[in-house]
Structure 1
Amino acid sequence: MATIKDVAAQAGVSISTVSHVLNRTRKVSEAARSRVEQAVRELNYAPNSVARSLKVNNTRTIGMLVTTNAHPFFAEVVQAVEELCFELGYSLMLCNTENKPERQLMHLRMLLEKRVDGLLVICTDTPPSLTELLQQHAQIPLVMLDWSRDNAFADIIHDNAQIGGYLAGKYLVEQGHKDVACITGHLHKGTSQLRLGGFVKALEEAGLSLPPAQVVEGDFESESGYRAMQQLLRQGFGCTAVFAFCDTMAFGAICAITQAGLRVPQDISVIGYDDVNMARFTSPPLTTISHPKRTLGRWALELLLKRIREKDHQPEQLELQPRLVVRESVCPPGSRDERLEA
């Protein structure tokens, strides 16, 4: 089995140069880099990462706990993190928790055993058991994304959910909607409360209210959006617009509306939240509140690497600003009658 000495000899460079090329720790001339990479291929050299980590006390590996990378929102955040990891020469160990406490704890313990250099956590639920275990290992650099806001041992990145909800409500009001409904996420979560609060504020500024019967709780999955919209249609109060707290629930709501023989947006307008990639390709394309997922992922990793480098780093909170993305799933409530008359 080839060693790093063999690679250095074949490439005609020093062992330290080979190390810098492999670990991307220092700029090396293109000629030397090319010779090293060619020698690595010809010799089928594979670095001993375990030995290296014992020597330098790091593994150049990042651990990431995520609710599920099957969900479009999480998938896009994970993709951004993985891309930056690759650019910087880090490996990413991704663990799906499905919001199950036993899986969260099992995966976290495994990542700690693997001696990851730092942790990214993006779970819609952080139960006390997970928080306690994270606190017990506070020496591990940690960044929490999006849902978590209140702790003193981790850096936190989240979006301004209240402004996001306000933008959705303000746009519907500007389009002339007065009878509106909400399909929320879990109402015990701070993010859902903030989005709801911002939405209600926009309505109140226009002299409108949001009756409790017109607020249906979902769980950020498309099935819950579908069921919630069915419930709203059964109630028969005649809403002209619905704000879903994530795009996947908006997709489910659109399905329920069309299956009921109604049209989006002519009969009921729908606005979502997140601006996942597929939002552009629904029928009609979804108007939504953009949650900058790629920025969220890259900021998180950059902040984590800063925390890894700076041992006296003090916890930070960064906030992303959402924005309205107008497409074709919202129109003024009178559009239906005008088109029928035409």
Structure 2
Amino acid sequence: MPITTKDIAKLANVSQSTVSRCLNNSPVISEKTKQRVLKIAQEQGFQFNASARSLSTSKTRTVGIICLKRMFDHDHDVHYLAWQDALIENLEHLEYDVIISLLKNRFTGQNNIRKLITARKIDGLIILQQELDTESMAILEEANIPYIFCKYLPTLCRTKDVDYVHVDQFKGGYLATQHLIDLGHKRILCISANVSGGEFERRTEGYKAAFQDNTLSFSSNPVLFGDATFHSGYQLIKDNRDALKGITAIFGQNDLMALGAISALKEMQINVPEDIAVVGYDNVKLCTYFQPYLTSIHQPFEEVALLTCKRLIESLTCGQSSVKQRLAVQPKLIIRESCGSKKKPRGL
């Protein structure tokens, strides 16, 4: 049988109303009594009722995370679940509960942002979502709760004054390409993806800028588009052998596609990095599961998650500020085996 406030009151030798006030951090109770009651509650495994707390304090100490549907797809979870887990870890460290939800109920189509806000289940929202519809944006703007965008900034919000924390994707694309150019490569195939959110577009812009800054022709360097999965990277190489003529390096705009490309190259008896160098993006754990270990662009998602949570909690505790923040965290190049060293270009 779960322990109740009545049980805690008996153990602490105080009234049940005193226990309730302690749990709600009432200023009329001494700090010494609060700490004693809270210690007993914790030792007994007491779970405070969030709904009751919301009614008495208007606070649930719960944050909602609106995540991507692709986080539940096996082909993507290596990368995206790391972002979700980092957010949860930071919120739990700050002693906030977390509700994970998709933007809409997959069966009824009900808007979950509306549901969470109207049911008073959350104090604030972290939105890890590539795009938002006008209904969702209207709900957010009308609601009196703080929210922040993490990783993605939906198209509807790009001209709005909102809080947003992300990785500089342009810089990441530039770093990957510049590294290959520094190794002597001038013909670099780019494997990108046709997915929303703007990240791959920015990486491609960084890729092109590196060519321009090194006075190299971009027109002779093809860009192929897949869907960000391992199979996609594999199939793009298998289906476009002619595009590899003269190519000495490949920039895979995520690690799964880069690893898929390496798998296809091996089947085609093309050695990595001796014949073609490969660099990926995201720096997922799989980069060191297979040889050659994959050179990759590290997205510091831990730092992004920390800044996102701190900013949201700041808004919750100090009140929403009219001055919003857009914070860009810088990516890093992690050099491993898949790029080799400087060498003369080879042709197929």
**TM class by smaller structure:** 0.7 to 0.9
Inter-partner Cα distance in structure 2 for 1:317 and 1:59: 27
2:30 and 2:206 map into 1 onto residues whose CA distance is 48
Distance 2:195 2:340 in 1: 28
Which of these residues, 165, 169, 172, is aligned with residue 173 of structure 2? 165
User: Once structures 1 and 2 are overlaid, which stretch shifts more, 229-238 or 117-126?
Assistant: 229-238
Give 1:73's match in structure 2, choosing from 65, 71, 79. 79
Which stretch of structure 1 is more off in the superposition, 269-278 or 31-40? 31-40
Deviations 1:63-116 (A, max 9, x none): 11111335222211111111122222211111245x999988633233224421
Q: Which residue of 2 aligns with 1:19?
A: 23
Structure 2 residue identity aligned to 1:126: L
d(CA) in 1 for partners of 2:147, 2:220: 38
Q: 1:5 to 1:274 in 2, by over 3 A?
A: same
Give the stretch that moved more between structures: 189-198 or 155-164. Answer: 189-198
- Map of 1:1-342 to 2, 5 A cutoff? 2-11=3-12, 15=19, 18-19=22-23, 36-38=38-40, 40-42=42-44, 45-67=46-68, 68-70=70-72, 71-96=77-102, 106-115=111-120, 116-137=122-143, 139-148=144-153, 150-186=158-194, 189-211=197-219, 214-314=222-322, 315-332=324-341, 334=343
Give 1:66's aligned amino acid.
C
Q: Residues of 2 paired with 1:85 and 1:185: CA distance?
A: 31
Higher mean Cα deviation, 257-266 or 316-325? Answer: 257-266
Question: Aligned partners of 1:162 and 1:205: how far apart in 2?
Answer: 14
**Structure-2 residue corresponding to 1:340:** none
Taking structure 1 as reference, are residues 27 and 218 closer, same or farther at Cα in structure 2, changes over 3 Å only? farther
Q: CA deviation at 1:190?
A: 2.9
**Structure 1, residues 179-219: CA drift from partner, whole Å, max 9, x if none?**
10111133765322221121111112223223377101223
* Corresponding letter in the other structure for 1:147: Y
Structure whose residues are more often helix by fraction? 1
Query: Structure 1: where are the runs of 5+ without partners?
Result: 338-342
Report the alpha carbon displacement of residue 164 of structure 1 after superposing the two structures with TM.
1.2
Check 1:105–1:144 CA distance in 2 against 1; reply closer, same or farther (3 A cut): farther
- Residue range with higher mean Cα deviation, 55-64 or 77-86: 77-86
Distance 2:111 2:150 in 1: 20
More off after superposition, 102-111 vs 305-314: 102-111
2:111 counterpart SS class: helix
Question: Would the alpha carbon gap of residues 192 and 10 (structure 1) be closer, same or farther in structure 2, given more than 3 Å must change?
Answer: same
Greater CA drift, 282-291 or 120-129? 120-129
Does the Cα contact within 8 Å between 2:185 and 2:345 map onto a contact in 1? Answer: no
Cα pair 1:181 1:243 within 8 Å, conserved = yes
Number of residues paired by the alignment? 330
Q: CA deviation at 1:239?
A: 1.2
1: CA distance between counterparts of 2:229 and 2:89? 26
Instruction: Give 2:57's aligned amino acid.
Output: V
Distance in 2 between the 1:264 and 1:57 partners? 59
TM-score normalized by the length of structure 2 = 0.82
> Does the aligned pair in 1 maintain the 2:224–2:236 contact within 8 Å?
yes
Q: What letter corresponds to residue 126 of structure 2 in structure 1?
A: L
Residues 194, 237 of structure 1: CA spacing in aligned structure 2 closer, same or farther, 3 A cutoff? same
